Every structure is written in C-alpha cells, then in structure tokens.
C-alpha cells in the first residue's frame, strides 16, 4: 500500500550556503511521514568544488531537477531561473516552496512560486544589513515581501520584520534559531583537513563579494593587507572561482597561499584550526563563531549584528591599514563564545515540524 503524502514541499537551492542549510532541514523533513520533498538545484554554483562535493559529503538527496543556470548577469540569471522554476512548479504542484537566504536562487524561486499562488517559506527571513548596494540585501528584502512563512534565525530578525509591518494574520513568523548552527553541531565530528600541509597557526581568508572584488582599488588594498599579515602569520585562502579570475585580470601579486574551494567538512576543519578568519562572507562569520574562532569582516555592515555586539566579530573597511589593525586586535582578544546567539541546535526540526502542521 502506498504511503499517503499529505503535503509536498519543493525546496529550491543553488549556492554553497544553501546546500549546507538544506542538508539538515531535508534530513528532518524526511522524518515526517506526511511530507514529501522535491529538490530543485538551479545550478547557481556550478563548479564541482562549489556544488557536487556538498551533495556527496553531506549526504543530501540528489536534486530531482538541475537547471544549470549560471555564469550570467544578475538580471539574466534571475529571469532564466524564474522561467525554469515555474515550469517545474507547474508539473509538481507543491503546497509550499521552501527557499533559503539571499541569493538570486532565493528570489527567483520565490517569485516563480508566488505568481502561481504557491506559499513561500523563507529560511533566514528578516535578516537586514540595510545596505542596498548589496545584491543579497535586495534579494532577501524582496523575498520576505512575497513570503507567507518566515523562519527566523534570531530575535533581531523578528524585530526587523515587525518594524517593517509583517505582523498581519496572513504571515506566520517563527523563531527557529539558525540551521547553520545545527549543521555545525551535526557535522563537526566528521570534519576533515585538506590534503596538503596546513601551518599550526594561520589566518583563514575568503573574499568574494561583488563590492570588494569588482573594484580594483578595494581588492588591491585587501590583498595588500593579507600579504602584509602573511609576513607575521601564514594566510591561506580557498579562492572563489570568480575571485580567482578577477585577481588574474588585475594582476595582483599574491604572497599568501591560495587553493581551490574546499567542501564543508574541510572548511569546518580549517575554521577550527585557524587563529583568525578574515572574510566578507555572511555565512562564514557565523560558522567561525560556532567553532569559537574570532573574525574580521571586510564589509561596511553585517546582518549578523549579534556577532559584533558579542565581540566575536569586528567590521573593517577595505583599507589595508584598517584590516591589519583589526586583524591584530582580534588575534589578541579574549572572547566569550559561550552565549547561545543562534538557538539550541534544533532549528531544522522546528522548521520541518511547522511545515508538517501548517
């Protein structure tokens, strides 16, 4: 006798952070007999080291659909994704479309769903940097405005939504905690190290955001700062494919160690072993906190203000001297990592449980 499926969830993912989040949420969804999940991979991150490795390492169910939409401008990518996701939604007819974070994939899937009158559930709803120059900020704000279910990582996210008027009876706002914290707890015992020599003490850096990489003067300052720090403490960087291409175009001199992107389990290993993280990533700021590593974030604002308030993270401009000053400060700081800023590690269960009962 066939199992009765009461509710169909279509999950749309396409970028590294979304694979990690979906890994823990999809595992919980599978435990509810009345839920069926269909995964769509837009292909936004198409490099094998940015995509395929995550499905293998984290035991994520292979996507039912892979759209292979990548290497396009923001507008072209978003439009193509809307078109292709809409085609699948018309076939699958899900009850809810589940989206994560703030990428082009997030907004495209939400737009395709809402135009077909399908409910949108947004994981990491309510996050705000209030920097409209960031494509991610535009994506997350617009996605919230067309969502019906808001899964919030923090109390601040709920405050942001309340301030913006999302408290009508048509909206479901749920404080879940952060699914990235769930992932960190679950996968930490399985952490790995890359298959090459890693120094005993080192700085781990990732730089990929458009506002830092598309401006030659900014990127040059950042690389100069990392080169200078490398003279005192080794700096290593798993380099994003787009960043690598831009560095080659600008002809930047690199004195520190760069290597290809690594999988999530290797990244956990690097985060745990390093002395400091220097990044412009949103997710890596939190991942550093989860493993009790201080962080310098090269951005004017961050949506994760709890990290700034706790002293675990500090913002730096793209100025060489500012980055060096902030890095040296954080290397010497004593930080209290004991505060539970992002929930109790059961965010994924809370999301799946809500979807089962909504």
Tens of pLDDT, residues 272-295:
999 999 999 989 999 999 999 999
Kindly state whether residues 165 and 68 are assigned to the same domain: yes
User: Whose CA is closest to 139, among 287, 18, 46, 309?
Assistant: 18
CA dist., res. 32 & res. 27, Å (int): 10
CA dist., res. 92 & res. 15, Å (int): 22
Tens of pLDDT, residues 317-352:
999 999 999 999 999 999 999 999 999 999 999 999
What is the bridge-based pairing of β-strands 257-259 and 313-316?
A: unpaired
Q: Is the pLDDT of residue 121 over 60?
A: yes
Q: Is the pLDDT of residue 58 over 80?
A: no
Kindly state whether residues 41 and 159 are assigned to the same domain: yes
Please state the rounded mean pLDDT for residues 19-45: 92
Please state the rounded mean pLDDT for residues 77-93: 96
Phi-psi region of 86 (alpha: psi -120 to 50; beta: other; left: phi over 0): alpha
Residue entry with tokens 């892979």: 66
Q: Is the pLDDT of residue 76 over 70?
A: yes
Residues listed for the chain: 358
Which strands sit side by side in the sheet containing 235-238, from one edge to the other? Answer: 257-259, 235-238, 203-206, 276-279, 295-298, 313-316
The b/e string for 202-215 (b: 16+ C-beta within 10 A; e otherwise) is: bbbbbbbbebbbee
Whole-number pLDDT of residue 144:
98
β-bridge mates for residue 149, sequence order: 121, 172
Alpha helix positions (H), 42-134: 52-57, 74-92, 104-115
Report if residue 22 sits inside a domain.
yes
Q: Is the pLDDT of residue 4 over 70?
A: no
**208 labelled catalytic:** yes
Kindly state whether residues 34 and 69 are assigned to the same domain: yes
Please state the rounded mean pLDDT for residues 212-218: 92
Q: Is the pLDDT of residue 314 over 50?
A: yes
Report if residue 1 sits inside a domain.
no
Report if residue 185 sits inside a domain.
no
Tens of pLDDT, residues 37-57:
999 999 886 554 545 665 666
Please state the rounded mean pLDDT for residues 176-183: 96
Domain ranges, residue 25: 7-178+343-357
Kindly state whether residues 209 and 117 are assigned to the same domain: no
Mean pLDDT computed over every residue of the chain:
92
Whole-number pLDDT of residue 53:
60
Kindly state whether residues 207 and 78 are assigned to the same domain: no
Kindly state whether residues 145 and 241 are assigned to the same domain: no
Report if residue 338 sits inside a domain.
no
CA angle (133 as vertex; 22, 48 as ends), nearest 5: 35
Kindly state whether residues 165 and 306 are assigned to the same domain: no
Whole-number pLDDT of residue 275:
98
Kindly state whether residues 156 and 196 are assigned to the same domain: no
Kindly state whether residues 75 and 153 are assigned to the same domain: yes
Report if residue 2 sits inside a domain.
no
CA dist., res. 346 & res. 244, Å (int): 37
Q: Which two tokens stand for residue 272?
A: 């745990």
Residue 269, domain CATH? 3.40.50.2000
54 or 191: which leads in pLDDT: 191
- Active site residue: 45, 208, 230, 240, which one? 208
Report if residue 248 sits inside a domain.
yes
Kindly state whether residues 90 and 195 are assigned to the same domain: no
Whole-number pLDDT of residue 54:
58
214 or 288: which leads in pLDDT: 288
Kindly state whether residues 228 and 268 are assigned to the same domain: yes
49 or 104: which leads in pLDDT: 104
User: Whose CA is closest to 223, among 191, 249, 194, 255?
Assistant: 255
CA dist., res. 137 & res. 102, Å (int): 7
Query: pLDDT band at 1, cuts 50/70/90?
Result: very low
CA dist., res. 259 & res. 126, Å (int): 34
Report if residue 183 sits inside a domain.
no
Whole-number pLDDT of residue 2:
45
Tens of pLDDT, residues 218-255:
999 999 999 999 999 999 999 988 899 999 998 999 99
CA dist., res. 112 & res. 82, Å (int): 5
Whether the Cβ atoms of residue 240 and residue 209 lie closer than 8 Å to each other: no
* Residues whose CB falls within 8 Å of the CB of residue 284, separated by 6 or more in sequence, listed in order: 206, 271, 277, 295
Kindly state whether residues 141 and 226 are assigned to the same domain: no
Report if residue 184 sits inside a domain.
no
Query: pLDDT band at 61, cuts 50/70/90?
Result: confident
Q: Name the domain count of the chain.
A: 2
């Amino acid at each position: 006798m066939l199992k009765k499926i009461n509710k169909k969830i279509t999950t749309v993912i396409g970028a590294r952070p979304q694979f990690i989040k979906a890994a823990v949420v999809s595992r919980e969804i599978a435990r509810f007999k009345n839920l069926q999940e269909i995964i769509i991979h837009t292909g936004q991150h198409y490099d094998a080291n940015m995509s395929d490795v995550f499905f293998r390492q984290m035991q994520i169910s292979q996507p039912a659909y892979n759209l292979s939409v990548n290497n396009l401008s923001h507008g072209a990518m978003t439009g193509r994704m809307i078109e292709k996701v809409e085609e699948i939604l018309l076939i699958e007819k899900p009850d809810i479309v589940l989206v994560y974070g703030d990428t082009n994939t997030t907004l495209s899937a939400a737009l395709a769903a809402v135009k077909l009158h399908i409910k949108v559930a947004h994981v990491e709803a309510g996050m705000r940097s209030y920097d409209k120059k960031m494509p991610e900020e535009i994506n997350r704000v617009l996605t919230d405005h067309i969502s019906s279910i808001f899964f919030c990582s923090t109390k601040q996210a709920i405050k942001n939504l309340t301030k913006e008027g999302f408290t009508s009876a048509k909206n479901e706002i749920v404080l879940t905690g952060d699914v990235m914290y769930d992932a960190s707890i679950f996968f930490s015992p399985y952490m790995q190290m890359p298959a090459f020599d890693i120094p005993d003490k080192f700085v781990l850096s990732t730089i990929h955001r458009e506002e830092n990489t598309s401006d030659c003067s900014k990127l040059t300052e950042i690389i100069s700062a990392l080169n200078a720090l490398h003279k005192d403490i080794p700096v290593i960087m798993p380099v994003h494919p787009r960043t690598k291409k831009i560095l080659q175009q600008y002809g930047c001199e690199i004195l520190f160690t760069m290597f290809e992107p690594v999988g999530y389990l290797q990244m956990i290993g690097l985060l745990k072993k390093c002395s400091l993280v220097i990044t412009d990533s949103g997710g890596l700021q939190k991942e550093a906190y989860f493993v009790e590593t201080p962080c310098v974030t090269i951005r004017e604002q961050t949506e994760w203000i709890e990290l700034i308030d706790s002293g675990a993270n500090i913002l730096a401009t793209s100025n060489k001297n500012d980055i060096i000053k902030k890095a040296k400060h954080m290397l010497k700081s004593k930080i209290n990592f004991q505060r539970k800023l992002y929930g109790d590690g059961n965010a994924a269960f809370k999301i799946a449980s809500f979807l089962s009962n909504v």
